[in-house]
C-alpha cells in the first residue's frame, strides 16, 4: 500500500466549550451520562493512503462469500482427516513390521 504521512485534524474530548464557532460546528457537543461533553480539534500525524488504493480496499470490504468460505473449510477439513488416516495407517504398518499387534 502506498501513501504518505500527513497531519490531520481529529475531534478529541475537552473539558470546556470551544472558543470558536467553526470548532463547535466541526466537532459538535454530545451528551455523556446526562452532562454535555465538548470536543475540540487536535492535530495528529496519520498515514493517508493514495486514492489509487481505493478500489482494492473497497473490493476487500465487499460482502462475505459463503460459498467460497465453505469450499475452503471443506478443503481444510478433508486435508486434516486425510492426514490423520495416513498417519494412522503408517502406524499400523510400522507396528506390523516390528511384530506388535
Q: Model confidence over 7-30: pLDDT tens digits?
A: 988 888 887 887 788 777 888 888
Domain range enclosing 86: 63-101
Distance CA 81, CA 92 (A): 17
Same domain, 47 and 80: no
The SS3 of residue 49 is strand
Same domain, 49 and 8: yes
pLDDT at position 13 = 86
Same domain, 50 and 24: yes
> pLDDT tens digits for 56-98?
888 888 888 899 999 999 999 999 999 999 999 998 888 888 8
Same domain, 71 and 57: no
Same domain, 96 and 73: yes
Same domain, 45 and 69: no
Threshold 0.85, pTM exceeds = no
Distance CA 65, CA 63 (A): 6
More confident residue, 6 or 80: 80
Number of structural domains the chain divides into: 2
Same domain, 99 and 79: yes
Cell numbers found for residue 36: 454535555
Amino acid at each position: 500500500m502506498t501513501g504518505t504521512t500527513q497531519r490531520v485534524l481529529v475531534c478529541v474530548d475537552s473539558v470546556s466549550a470551544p472558543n470558536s464557532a467553526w470548532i463547535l460546528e466541526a466537532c459538535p457537543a454530545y451528551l455523556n451520562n446526562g452532562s454535555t461533553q465538548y470536543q475540540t480539534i487536535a492535530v495528529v500525524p496519520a498515514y493517508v493512503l493514495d486514492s489509487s488504493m481505493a478500489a482494492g480496499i473497497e473490493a476487500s470490504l465487499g460482502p462475505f462469500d459463503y460459498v467460497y468460505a465453505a469450499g475452503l473449510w471443506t478443503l481444510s477439513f478433508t486435508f486434516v482427516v486425510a492426514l490423520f488416516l495416513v498417519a494412522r495407517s503408517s502406524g499400523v504398518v510400522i507396528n506390523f513390521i516390528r511384530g506388535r499387534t
